Each structure stands twice: as structure tokens, then as C-alpha cells.
Structure 1
Amino acid sequence: MSKTSEGATPGFLVWRLSMKWRVAVDRAVAPLGLTHAQYSLVASLYGMQRTGERPSQRRLADHTGLEPLYVSKLARSLESAGLLERAKDPRDPRAVQLALTAEGLETTRRAIGVVHGLLTQLLEPLGGLDSDRTRELSRDLTLLLDAPLDPAATGPQ
């Protein structure tokens, strides 16, 4: 255990790991013209498109955990870069649907490969991507992500 981690709270460790991951992904996908946030958006969109879904910006925001306004900003920049298309939803004129372009599909496939390599590196101390410890970690992280938080309940009294 590193000296930074000695006596650290789980919240601090989760924050440190998320920062380490964000920086690593930012650096790894930069040569492809992406940021970590943009990667999160296009990789999620890629997965959704593979199942036949053409999600709205709102649906993609819900899926990624990013704020809808931030997803809109990211989508506009990715559209300007020629990686995705934004179109009005024929069923809801207020909604905007997103889809990867051919260039966006190719860039996303390459980025997914790069990030998968990073994930393999990150999980090596747990025995790799397919280890029992990694599956247990994934279950625990999912449990924590699904736990509701009410910041007002723990705020100043």
C-alpha cells in the first residue's frame, strides 16, 4: 500500500483512483483527438448503437452519469469534429438523437482498444480482467453506484 493510501478513507481512495483513471484515459485517447469525457460519450453511444438504439442526448446523459448540459456541449464538439450526428427526434421535437458517423465509429473502435489495454494494465494486480477478484470488485462498485445518496440528509444541521 502506498504512503498516500495509509489511513485513507474509502471515499478518498475512490476519488484518487477515479482521478488516476481519468488522467490515464485522457492521455491515451488524446492522439485520437478525444478527451476522457468525449471517449465516455462515444464509447457509450457505440454500445447503444450496436443494440439498435439511437439514444437522445438525455438518454445518453442518464447512461453515462454526465450532466445533460455537458453531454450537449460534448455532442456539439464531437459533431464539429465529424464524429457524430445530431438530429431531431421524430417522436419528440424537443429531443435530439445522436449517432456516430463512419469516422466516429472507426475512431471509437480504436479508442476502445486503447482503453481496454489500460484496463488490462490497471486490473493486473487483481489477477486481470477475468479474475474472481475483478468480478468481485465490479459487483462491489455496482452496489455502491446503485446506493442512493441524499446530500441534503448529511448536510449542515
Structure 2
Amino acid sequence: MQDRESWTTGSLVWHLSLRWRAGIDRALTPLGLTHAQYSVLAPLHTLVRAGDRPSQRELAEQTGLQPIYISKLVRALERGGFVSSERDPRDARAVRLDLTEQGHRIALRAKDIVQQLDHENTRALRGKGDHELVELHRALSALLDATDAADE
């Protein structure tokens, strides 16, 4: 095992993120999804279930991904039969997104898989209660808020 005491916080987060993403990729492969596609499919599923049919730009804002990246991922999800899109009748430049029936089923299965993987990945922090996990969430949220504020 490497000596990680000298690593920066960013380096620790980066290495953990790489491993987490690789695990999600492996777990979602049987569903025909990548982690990147899941990063679009899961929030789209949440929005559609709430009665919204977001534009690609709105989905980009929701996910924090660049619109060009959303466009590529949506095309891949359309080819996979998970997502449908149509031009917004109120704005010819906008494309409204929806899930196919298959997309709904796969999104639910994928969310379950990712939630189980999250639970497994955080097992080391679940000793006596979830105090360490709650504190990790608080700390990561604070870091995200700080970087959001710095971007404004």
C-alpha cells in the first residue's frame, strides 16, 4: 500500500473517484451502460418522473456536465434505446428529452446497482453508526460549495 499521508486532498479525491468510476463501469456493463451514460440517465430519470422533459441544456445544468458532452451521451443513450428526443415546439434550437420504456426500466435497475455499490464502497465508514459517513458527506459538500462559490 502506498504512503498516502503526503498526498493532497485533491489527489486522494481523484484516486478514489477513478476507482469508484471503474467499479460503476464494471457493475453497469451488463445493462449496456457506462458510468458517463449513467451520469445522464439517472438525473434524467429523476426529472422525467417529476413530470419534466428537460432540454439538453437543462440536463447539463442539472448534472454539471458540459452541453457538448451531454449531447454526445444523449446520442449514445438514444442509440441504445434508452432515451428519445424531439425538437421543442417553442424553441427550434432546443431538444426535449424523455425516457423510453426500456430507459425507465434500465434507469431503475442502474440506480439500484449504484446505490448498492455506494453502500459497499462506504462500508469502511459504517463502524458504529454512520457518523463517519455523515461527516464525509458534510465535508465533501462543503468542498463542493466552496468550489462552486469560487467559480462564480
* TM-score between both structures, scaled by the size of structure 2: 0.90
Distance 1:40 1:76 in 2: 14
The aligned runs of 1:135-154 (5 Å cut-off) are 135-147=134-146, 148-149=149-150
Superposition deviation, residue 142 in structure 1: 1.6
What's the RMSD between the two structures over aligned residues? 1.6
**Equivalent residue pairs, number:** 148
The aligned runs of 1:98-117 (5 Å cut-off) are 98-117=97-116
Identical-pair percentage: 49
Residue matched to 1:56: 55
Distance 1:4 1:43 in 2: 36
3-state SS of 2:65 partner: coil
Distance 1:4 1:53 in 2: 48
Superposition deviation, residue 7 in structure 1: 1.2
The one-letter amino acid of 1:33's match is: G
3-state SS of 1:149 partner: helix
Superposition deviation, residue 4 in structure 1: 4.4
Residue matched to 1:85: 84
- CA 1:136 to 1:35, structure 2 compared with 1: closer, same or farther past 3 Å? same
- CA 1:4 to 1:26, structure 2 compared with 1: closer, same or farther past 3 Å? farther
Matched, 1:65 2:64: yes
Distance 1:89 1:143 in 2: 37
- Structure 2's unaligned 5+ residue stretches are none
3-state SS of 1:66 partner: coil
Q: Which moved more, 1:70-79 or 1:130-139?
A: 130-139
- 4+ long deviations beyond 2 Å: none
Residue matched to 2:19: 20
Residue matched to 1:3: 2
Residue matched to 2:46: 47
Superposition deviation, residue 132 in structure 1: 2.6
* TM-score between both structures, scaled by the size of structure 1: 0.87
Distance 1:91 1:146 in 2: 34
Distance 2:28 2:105 in 1: 13
